[in-house]
Amino acid sequence: MFELFNVGLEMQKRMIDLQMQGIEVAQQMVDAAQRNVDAGAAAGRAGEAGVKAMKGWMRLWGMRD
């Protein structure tokens, strides 16, 4: 009787451990996604700055923008 109870507790413990590992993986995925969003936003800002610089250069040389 007690052996079956111990087996059941061990199975529950393993399931909880697996669920916790799944949560950790999900948190890492969310962190990675947030870093990708941040990097994409930074690249967008850099692109806008490049366009602005090019327009300034074109104005300097008398070209239309």
Whole-number Å distance between alpha carbons of 37 and 43:
10
What is residue 54's DSSP assignment? H
pLDDT tens-digit map of 3-27: 888 999 999 999 999 999 999 999 9
DSSP state of 61: T
pTM recorded for the entire structure? 0.57
- Asked if 52 contacts 60 with a C-beta cutoff of 8 angstroms, the reply is no
3-state secondary structure of 28: helix
Task: Give the model confidence (pLDDT) of 18-53 as tens digits.
Answer: 999 999 999 999 999 999 999 988 888 898 898 999
Whether residue 58 has pLDDT greater than 70: yes
